[in-house]
A and B are shown apart, each in its own frame.
Chain A
Amino acid sequence: MPKSRKKASVEELSAQAQFVFRGTVRQRGAATLDQVALSRETLIVGVEEILKSPDVLMDFEGMDITVQLARGQRVEVGKTYIFYTNGWLYGQGLAVQCVALSPDADVDRRKARVSLEAAPARAVQERAKRAELVVTGQVTEVREASPPAKTPITEHDPAWQQAVVAVDTVEQTASRAVRKPKPKQIVVRFASSFDVLWSKAPKFSVGQAGVWMLGDKQEGAKLRAAAGAQKSEFVVVDPEDFYPMESAEQVKALLKK
């Protein structure tokens, strides 16, 4: 990382990097994959402890991988570092690109662990910050929604439906959405399509209960327009827009922090 830039915090690095590990530099100018073009910045690193990784790559703990350093990053062969990296090539082995690294001091390792453990909670809090309204409630009705004008026939049709949600509690409001007294019910427009572009969008059925993080202070109007929704409707297409009732207490606690 260039010296002139402000050093990123552990929290920032934890958010930027998807694969964080403690590892020892074994070899410089070498790689574990044939497809990697070698340079002085190419390292073989032994992964000793994985601090953050998707499940599918957790088994790389104890194995050698390839790390491509960014310009200006310095390491010594034989020394151990905490590597903040993102994926590059996945083949016979793994190659990652280094976002940042720090010496393997206890304090840095501890900071990284704390930060990484807090990451899911931060994601919930950030979604809540953008929301126009956060409620708990239960779906009482699901119905077809009128599509936007000039909806073409396409395999990627979201197949909009409306879920009527009986509101139990209002956890958070933003100015646009403030209603007093609290709304008894809200209407949520969601994509019922099973198409690849919409399969991860939350689907709702009668009786389903949970926490809805509704609207977006910045993008809400655009989302409504694209979905052909009324101003009174909320468009829910992101997995982070809804949490099932089992997580409700946890989510509510995070909102209070």
Chain B
Amino acid sequence: MIVKMTGDKAFKVVAAIVAASAAIILLVTSYVLVTGSSLVLGRFGFGFLTGTSWNPVVGREAFGVLPYILGTLVTSGIALIIGVPLSLGIAIFLVEMSPKGVRVPLSYLVELLAAVPSVIYGLWGLFVLRFWTQNYIETPINNYLGWIPIFSGTPFGLDIFTAGIILAIMIIPTVASVSREVISAVPNSIREGAYSIGATKWEVIRHWVLSYARSGIFGAVILGLGRAVGETMAVTMVIGNAIGPNAMPTSLFRPGQTLPSLIANGFIESATPLETSAFVGAGLILLLVSLFINVIAHIMVTRVLKVKGGAVE
């Protein structure tokens, strides 16, 4: 009897300890980022968040991450503006409209977008997409609307706009698959009720299904935002990698920089402990932003999926 008890207990305890590894990873990461950035935060304090210069020269050091925070927000914003309507269209098509035979192959294709490594998106962005955006989007807009500040500059293709487009493509599989799930979770009785009062298919989707799934779709969008904020390689390869005040996102058609691309470009080459600490500080801000976004997203998504039967999460 005693052996039996201890065997089961021991297994449970070991499993519980191993399962805590995720919490340990989270704690260790937070610890590393907080202690690693204490040097730069102690020196510049709040100015680290609001400063725009990045000068590692000893004696004239100045580190501020405002341009990169804004760059992250602007590129992610473009990604949402372009990616979310596309993803919603895809989700609606796959759940409500597509003929049975093509539904599965089409969803495989959309999901394959998620399987492509981000460095390959970057490579494609650098040698292919860049010329599409430069020749067919940026140059025409710049010719006619260049007097508007956000469209000013000389379109070169390696800029904030292209980074936003590539992020839009990369968040589509996330947003589309989660939206598809919450839209399929809408009970059929809702649709049937709407059809019975004479609504067309689109009206059923627009006025009943989408409003029922609203909060879950919002969660899907936030999850996409989280992915866009943390995406590193593809952005690093197409955003042009400006540094210091030049990285302020004043125009869509100028090179910029995001928090992840800043770290990817410079962390290894940082020359002084203070500069290393500045990169770690940028990582800390990135972590806080992404934690905040993801916690909100999970709350929103689980709230809708629970409606279906409680067994989803």
Q: Do A and B actually bind?
A: no
